[in-house]
Each structure stands twice: as structure tokens, then as C-alpha cells.
Amino acid sequence: MSVLVNKDTRVLVQGITGKEGSFQTQRCIEYGTKIVAGVTPGRGGEKTEHGVPVFNRVSEAVRETGADCALIFVPPAFAADAILESAAAELPLAVCITEGIPTMDMVKVKRALGSHGTRLIGPNCPGIITAGECRVGIMPGHVFSPGSVGVVSRSGTLVYEAVDQLTRRGIGQTTCIGVGGDPIIGTNQKQALELLNNDPDTAAVVLIGEIGGSAEQEAAEYIRKHMKKPVIAFIAGATAPPGRRMGHAGAIISGNSGTADAKKHALAGAGAIISESPAEIGATTERVLRERGLL
């Protein structure tokens, strides 16, 4: 089973005629994802080099193709409007890869999404992949393999690293969700954990967090109260100096709760198993699965 996306998901790509949108569309098609439409204002009626029809508006694409998921590769200045257009078209899911969206734009998006049924993943994220079925984003599909471990991460690169370690150990994945590294995102770690906790085919979850904010503490509270499955957690940024942004816009320590130690302490206290090094995520997960008879 999977969460959010599967082999039947019908994806439209906003910004499909741009360089990155076109390149990643091809990679998604090669993975087996059903890309049914593209949206670029002013290019409606055309077809891309992949043979995908292009529409001027998301509503048109949804009406003509039955798309139920948007993958967004729109420049930062226009990305918020692209998300809101998908919400207005009542798409159940929108995945925004775009990095550098102004924070105030995302404040407006977050508020507006409260009145819609659209779930947003991102922005500034690697997307979602259900192993062997559907790739909606920029994750390198070749490192994934179907199995029973879900992955939730703020970091795209660490998703790939963790999954590669799991796959090399013969541990496959269900769905891997890159929630994004910006201060304001659509679906947070707690909400992603809830999705995987309710998936009967996910036996365990790898949670990859990083410094900044309090999302990991909120996830820890959910783990403590509700999680029925083992969680293996790694927090990036242990050596980062306070007050300095490290990579992601949200990865800045602005208080005691934002430190790696504070996050690890909260997660460990909630029952998560902590991996102290990114190089040990695979080994730690294998040990936990074997100890609990899940492998």
C-alpha cells in the first residue's frame, strides 16, 4: 500500500515547458508515473516533447484529463499563485518543488489552503515517491525499492542517502515524503508521520529532521501519544552555530528548542530510536527491524 500517491495517480505539471519541469517530467514518466497534462499560460493547445498536452489553466487540465495531483516547477515569484490555482481547481494534492518562495507569499498560501481540500507538500522539497509505483518530484528513482519502511524528511539529499542505505541492506520502502526545508510548509513531519502510521503496509518509519523551528518536537509529541510503529530518527546540524542559516531557510537556530540536541532529546524521550550519524541510518533501521521481528 502507499500514502498520497500510487500507480493510479494522475499528475499534471505546472511549468512543464521550463527546463527543470521538462527534465523532471521525463524522469517521472520513465519511473512509471502517469503524467497526463502540463500547464503553462499562453502555451495551451501544444504538446510537449514527451507527448503531454499543455493547457493554459489548471482547471482546464483537470477537466480534460482527470488529473488529481499537481507537480509545481514554477519560478518563486509565481509559485504561490500556482499553488492557489491548484487549490482552486480542487486538486487533492499539490507538490511544490520551487525554492525561494517569499515567506509572506507562503503565509497567504497557508491561510488560503485552510478553506480548501488540497494537501500541499513543500515548497522547497524533493517531492514524494511511492517505491516502484509513482515519482512526483525530483528524487532519484533508482535508489528506491518497494518494501515496508516509510521515510519522512526535511532534507532531500538525506532522503536519498538514507534510502540508498536501506535498499543496499535489502530493506524496501513504502512512501517517502520530503516535506521541505522552508519555515512555512504545507504538510509537516507530524502530519506525514500520521499518514504512515495509518498505512497498514508501513512497518516502521525513518524520520530525518534538522535544526531550526520546533517541528521535530511536535512530531515527537505525536510519536509519544499515537505512534504504533518504531521510528528511527536522525537530526542534521549538530555542529551548526546559533544564529547562522545552514542550507535551508528554516534551518537556523533561533532558540533552545531549535538545536539538534533539543530535538534528539524530545524524540528519544518519545520513544524514537536515534541514529547519531547519517551513515548509520540504514544499520540502525536494520537492527530495530530485526529486534522487533519486522525483518
Question: What cell was used for 30?
Answer: 520513465
Q: Are 4 and 59 in contact (CB under 8 A)?
A: no
Active-site annotation holder among 50, 116, 226, 248 = 248
Nearest C-alpha neighbor of 235 from the set 204, 256, 266, 271:
266
Q: Are 44 and 56 in contact (CB under 8 A)?
A: yes
How many CB atoms lie under 10 A from the CB of residue 181? 25
Which helix (H) or strand (E) segment is 65 a member of?
A: helix 58-65
Instruction: Tell me the C-alpha distance between 134 and 150, whole Å.
Output: 14
Could you give the residue ranges of the DSSP H alpha helices within 97-155?
103-113
Nearest C-alpha neighbor of 131 from the set 27, 7, 34:
7
Cα diameter, the chain: 57
**Rounded to the nearest 10 degrees, how much is the dihedral formed by the CA atoms of 29, 35, 37, 41?**
-60
Instruction: Tell me the C-alpha distance between 104 and 109, whole Å.
Output: 9
Could you give the residue ranges of the DSSP H alpha helices within 66-182?
76-88, 103-113, 156-168
Catalytic residue flag (residue 226): no
Query: Cα dist. 22→35, 146, 268 in Å?
Result: 11, 26, 42
Q: Are 125 and 180 in contact (CB under 8 A)?
A: yes
Nearest C-alpha neighbor of 211 from the set 158, 269, 251:
251
Q: Are 60 and 1 in contact (CB under 8 A)?
A: no
Active site residues: 248
